[in-house]
A and B are shown apart, each in its own frame.
Chain A
Amino acid sequence: MNPVDHPDNFLAPAVWGNPHPYFARLRSTQPVSWNSWWNGWVLTRYDDVDFILKRSEKVSAATVAPAMARATPEQLERRATTFRMLGSFLPLNDPPDHTRLRRLVNKAFTPATVARLQPGIERRAKELLDAVEGRDQFEVISDFSHPLTLSVISEMLGIPDEDRTEVGTWGAQIVPLVLEGRDNSGRREVAERVLQEMEQYFRKLLQVRRRGPRNDLVSALAQAEDAGGLLTEDEIVSTCILLIFAGQETTTGLIANAVLALDEHPDQRERLVQQPELMPGAVEELLRYCGTAFAVTRMAKEPFRLREQEIAAGDKILLVLAAANRDPERFPDPDRLDISRNATGHLAFAGGVHYCLGGPLARVEARIGLNQLLARYPHLSPAPQRLTWSDVIIAREPASLVVDLSGAGRGVA
């Protein structure tokens, strides 16, 4: 792996602490630039990112097969579960496999289906805030946003209550592998072990639900497998792993990022406190301004030209969603959070065939979570602390965020 002090290393703390100026410079000077640290092309303009997202015939999301082709027989054996499970991950597959898998779970996440989950999400958010009532401080992620998203996705999948604490520890352990961390100290070994645990768990749960189906997603997946032979058991287990992972790791970070963004823009926060009905539009703007998904990776299937650059077949391409979302050509005055802006068309959920399956769920969770936080603690603000940002390319969120409930805080370093 390339050295940490490489000039193109945008995960270096000096850049990653606030990466927007770095990517703004790239966007205006070299919108399609070769990054020799990451060893691929970095795209930062809205039009280019949007264009490539919608060209699944030109670029591939299936990065597992090429990685397997490069691996030694010994690596293939040592990382067998990782390759098998990630090989069937929806975001890492191209059509037609992708289409077949996605159709199976798509309906569970449409806006209409997700709207029915609203009362349960509201109840859970209230319980979590009741539990910290009377304290001076709490930690947004571990006390609120993570337990909230964990219980929502667990409820959907049908994970028994008594398993949820353990299930909730898995996601964070595979983040460094799945979301492209660069610290190699053991991330592959940890992910292999945790993916084995996850695989065993879901195989067992699928069996249980096959014998006694309930009204949950794991039962629906078990039945779909039995009904058609359209899906392999590996694909179904992999999809369960993906859903429990993506269902937590994304919106959890969005809520924390939003608390920080609203603290930087107190006038916008005040408007939301006064007019909670503005929340749906505000969540779109927060997704644009500070959505968790920072970038997505693709690989060129064929050579093509983009802004005078020759992209070769097999080249890696990083689509920087966060940079596209702050392209002034698309969103005027992009570094300002403006909850009344029309943020429609933002790429926080990517686009094209891989447009985030859970987008409608993320929206509802964020609306409810943020509205309840602001209703209960209108003066909430970050306590004095030094933030540590997730050390991965695909997602950017603080590792933890302590807030003062009285409004005495204001101290992010």
Chain B
Amino acid sequence: MSGAWAEVDHELCMGTAMCRSVAPQAFSLGDDGKSSYVSSAGASLDALRDAEENCPVQAITVHEDEQG
């Protein structure tokens, strides 16, 4: 469990699901086919950073503070 959390910009998200493939616990795809951040329980900061870096449209921002 990390204190980090992530945001997904729905304007940018193209539903590529790369974040789901690198951090399946942290993201889910909604009915619109776009990704949302659900929880960092079970996802390490590394996994979140990996999702941020792998997103082809840079729709994910990881925050290292305690809220979210």
Check if A and B associate.
Answer: yes
- Interface members, chain B 5-42 (any A CB < 8 Å): 11-12, 14-18, 21-22, 29, 32-34
- Determine whether the beta carbon of A355 is less than 8 Å from that of B14: yes
Whether A53 sits at the interface, judged by CB under 8 Å, is: yes
Point out the residues of chain B lying under 8 angstroms from A353, CB to CB.
Answer: 15-17
| Cβ-neighbour of A352 out of B12, B15, B22, B58 (below 8 A) | B15
How far, in whole Å, are A107 and B56 apart by their CA atoms in the complex?
9
> In the assembled complex, how far is the CB of residue B59 from the closest CB belonging to chain A, in whole angstroms?
11
- Determine whether the beta carbon of B21 is less than 8 Å from that of A110: no
How far, in whole Å, are A348 and B32 apart by their CA atoms in the complex?
19
Point out the residues of chain A lying under 8 angstroms from B47, CB to CB.
Answer: none
Point out the residues of chain A lying under 8 angstroms from B58, CB to CB.
Answer: 110-111
The closest CB in chain B to the CB of A99 belongs to: B21
How far, in whole Å, are A156 and B6 apart by their CA atoms in the complex?
31
Q: A55-B33, A103-B21, A103-B22 are in contact. Are A351 and B14 (CB under 8 A)?
A: yes
**Contact bitstring A311-345, B, C-beta under 8 A = 1, else 0:** 00000000000000000000000000000000011
How far, in whole Å, are A95 and B16 apart by their CA atoms in the complex?
11
**Contact bitstring B51-67, A, C-beta under 8 A = 1, else 0:** 00111111000000000
**Contact bitstring A97-141, B, C-beta under 8 A = 1, else 0:** 001001100110111100000000000000000000000000000
The closest CB in chain A to the CB of B33 belongs to: A54
Whether A357 sits at the interface, judged by CB under 8 Å, is: yes
| Cβ-neighbour of B55 out of A53, A102, A110 (below 8 A) | A110
How far, in whole Å, are A53 and B55 apart by their CA atoms in the complex?
17
Whether A51 sits at the interface, judged by CB under 8 Å, is: yes
Whether A359 sits at the interface, judged by CB under 8 Å, is: yes
Point out the residues of chain B lying under 8 angstroms from A107, CB to CB.
Answer: 53-54
The closest CB in chain B to the CB of A56 belongs to: B17
Chain A interface secondary structure, helix, strand, loop or mixed? Answer: helix
Point out the residues of chain A lying under 8 angstroms from B53, CB to CB.
Answer: 107, 110, 112
Chain B interface secondary structure, helix, strand, loop or mixed? Answer: loop
The closest CB in chain B to the CB of A111 belongs to: B58
How many A-B contacts if CB must be within 8 Å? 59
> In the assembled complex, how far is the CB of residue B42 from the closest CB belonging to chain A, in whole angstroms?
19
- Determine whether the beta carbon of B12 is less than 8 Å from that of A102: no
Counting chain A CB atoms within 10 Å of each CB, the highest count among B14, B32, B55 belongs to B14
- Determine whether the beta carbon of A355 is less than 8 Å from that of B21: no
| Cβ-neighbour of A345 out of B11, B18, B56 (below 8 A) | B11
How far, in whole Å, are A344 and B28 apart by their CA atoms in the complex?
22
Q: A51-B33, A352-B17 are in contact. Are A106 and B11 (CB under 8 A)?
A: no
| Cβ-neighbour of B56 out of A55, A344, A355 (below 8 A) | A355
How far, in whole Å, are A378 and B54 apart by their CA atoms in the complex?
37
- Interface members, chain A 21-62 (any B CB < 8 Å): 50-51, 53-55
Point out the residues of chain B lying under 8 angstroms from A102, CB to CB.
Answer: 18, 21
The closest CB in chain B to the CB of A346 belongs to: B14
| Cβ-neighbour of A53 out of B15, B22, B29, B57 (below 8 A) | B15
> In the assembled complex, how far is the CB of residue A228 from the closest CB belonging to chain B, in whole angstroms?
16
How far, in whole Å, are A95 and B55 apart by their CA atoms in the complex?
17
Counting chain B CB atoms within 10 Å of each CB, the highest count among A112, A352, A357 belongs to A352
Point out the residues of chain B lying under 8 angstroms from A349, CB to CB.
Answer: 14
Point out the residues of chain A lying under 8 angstroms from B55, CB to CB.
Answer: 110
Point out the residues of chain B lying under 8 angstroms from A351, CB to CB.
Answer: 14-16, 33
Whether A158 sits at the interface, judged by CB under 8 Å, is: no
- Determine whether the beta carbon of A54 is less than 8 Å from that of B54: no
- Determine whether the beta carbon of A355 is less than 8 Å from that of B22: no
Point out the residues of chain A lying under 8 angstroms from B34, CB to CB.
Answer: 54
25 contacts between A and B (CB under 8 A): A50-B33, A53-B15, A54-B34, A102-B18, A103-B21, A103-B54, A106-B18, A106-B54, A107-B54, A109-B56, A110-B55, A110-B58, A111-B56, A344-B11, A351-B14, A351-B15, A351-B16, A351-B33, A352-B14, A352-B15, A352-B17, A353-B17, A355-B15, A356-B56, A359-B56
A-B residue pairs, 6 tightest by C-beta = A54-B33, A355-B16, A54-B15, A351-B14, A355-B14, A99-B21
